[in-house]
Amino acid sequence: MRTSLYASAAVLALAAASAQAQDLPFAIGEGDFAWDSYNDFADQYDLSGETVEITGPWTGNEKEKVDAVFAYFAEATGASVNYSGSDSFEQDIVISTRAGTAPNLAVFPQPGLAADMASQGLLTPLADGTSEWVAENFAAGESWVDLGTYAGPDGEEDLYGLFYRVDVKSLVWYNPIAFDEAGYDIPETMEELKELTEEIVDDGGTPWCIGLGSGAATGWPATDWVEDLMLRTQDPSVYDQWVTNEIPFDDPAVVGAIEEFGWFARNDDYVEGGTEAVATTDFRDSPAGLFSIPPECYMHRQASFIPAFFPDDAEQGENVDFFYFPAIEENDLGTPVLGAGTLFAITNDSEGAQAMIEFLKLPVAHELWMAQGGFLTAHGGVNLDLYSDDSLRAQGEILRDATTFRFDASDLMPSEIGAGAFWTGMVDYVTGADAEAVAADIQSRWDSIQ
């Protein structure tokens, strides 16, 4: 029934506002949504007869959910919204903008392409004051300003992107039943996490399941480890310099983060199957040890998507849960979070496009997808109780408490590095190569493409 309502809302987003109201998934004014700001927004806009064209990467079920959100914009303003999702979004948006047929807004799945298009003059800077608004209203707000700020064709920097949906990678998955039976506590610092790792070994268990296998992409899970550890050993500015190669890949800061990963992954006692198994175990199979009896491992560091590869009897909060991959207390670098996210940018300016950006600032524009499921946000004004399940709510709390947020570094590096030399270098490292030598090889590859 709920699915049919979402589909109805998506269709009615293109119709007159009066016809839409009866089929909105959540009745306006009911529930714990931030309706006051929504009503204020509705009072400010009359866009009757205007169509807002949007394109992005969301298809299928995700398209249904975002269409439902856009239906509320249409209801508030009288405008129609036409969202088209595409699996080839990255190619399509470049072609349409250069041909002069771009939609009003585009939803970018990562900032690299948006930055490139801004430098070519294909994006419109967001309204004055938006940077300040993001800094004040998003958790780790300055991080989101930085991630959405790019140089335009004249070299001047402006805010071009407003982030909307976010994914979290800084998670450690564990089996609460196994933890309770062994008497283990959730570590709150990296120091405590290392102590727990050693305690599990002392008790005769294996602390970690780690698998880097992923076919042609083998090695990428290790890059996430290194990125998380860079944010826990270095100031965020150093992380940013690493991403852009302002500091070389073999800088001591980077080598140190690689070796921090090695503390966990290159000790036969610490990983299920021993160190040799790390490089060959498929990442999709690696969390299985959490669910065996007795457990083959007690912890697995992986992003929020990994439950898709849990066994059928895995039940969040019962035999599987997660905690924040903790910061190093003595480094005093706050609570950094590694992840990803989608951003809205204006590709064909119009009154409707500007209004949509203002709508996306409203807590309710986020809460409406939160309540449908499969959505996280860094917006600090949302009601966390509206998350559709406890797992998303807990991840939302991690985002809320973040002091720094950074995108996956390998996704922002040139593909030959981030999706090539970095991946293979990590496989070399876990199979015995020296961290400095691996880092130097990656930097040599980077030098060769510049």
Taking only the tens place, the pLDDT of each residue in 236-261 is 999 999 999 999 999 999 999 999 99
Q: Which residues have a Cβ under 8 Å from the Cβ of 409 and sit 6 or more positions away?
A: 223, 227, 230, 239, 242, 243, 418
Q: How many CB atoms lie within 10 A of CB 91?
A: 10
Share of the chain above pLDDT 90, in %: 94
Does 89 have pLDDT greater than 90? yes
Residue 213 to residue 279: CA distance in whole angstroms = 6
Does 16 have pLDDT greater than 90? no
What pLDDT was estimated at residue 118? 97
Residue, of 173 and 4, whose pLDDT is higher? 173
Q: Which residues have a Cβ under 8 Å from the Cβ of 346 and sit 6 or more positions away?
A: 104, 105, 123, 124, 126, 160, 353, 354, 357
Select from 378, 373, 401 the least CA-distant residue to 389.
373
CB 370 within 8 A of CB 386: yes
Residue 174 to residue 155: CA distance in whole angstroms = 47
Instruction: State in Å, rounded, how far the first CA of the chain is from the last one.
Output: 55
Phi, psi (deg, nearest 5) at residue 406: -135, 145
Does 5 have pLDDT greater than 50? no
CB 163 within 8 A of CB 280: no
Range with lowest mean pLDDT among 11-25, 37-51, 374-388: 11-25
Residue type, 373: G
The DSSP bridge partners found for residue 157 are: 151
What pLDDT was estimated at residue 14? 35
Q: What is the mean pLDDT of residues 119-142?
A: 98
Taking only the tens place, the pLDDT of each residue in 186-245 is 999 999 999 999 999 999 999 999 999 999 999 999 999 999 999 999 999 999 999 999
The residue length of the chain stands at 450
Give the single-character DSSP code of 230. Answer: H
Residue 331 to residue 191: CA distance in whole angstroms = 11
pTM score, whole prediction: 0.90
Share of the chain above pLDDT 70, in %: 95
What pLDDT was estimated at residue 63? 97
Average pLDDT across the chain, whole number: 94
Does 435 have pLDDT greater than 50? yes
Residue 308 parent element (H or E)? none
CA 124 to chain centre: 24
- The tokens for 32 are 């714990």
Residue 394 to residue 203: CA distance in whole angstroms = 30
- The tokens for 206 are 């294996």
Residue type, 208: W
The DSSP bridge partners found for residue 107 are: 344
Q: How many CB atoms lie within 10 A of CB 419?
A: 17
The confidence band for 10, taking pLDDT boundaries of 50, 70 and 90, is very low
Instruction: Burial-class residue 447 by CB neighbours within 10 Å (0-12, 13-18, 19+).
Output: exposed
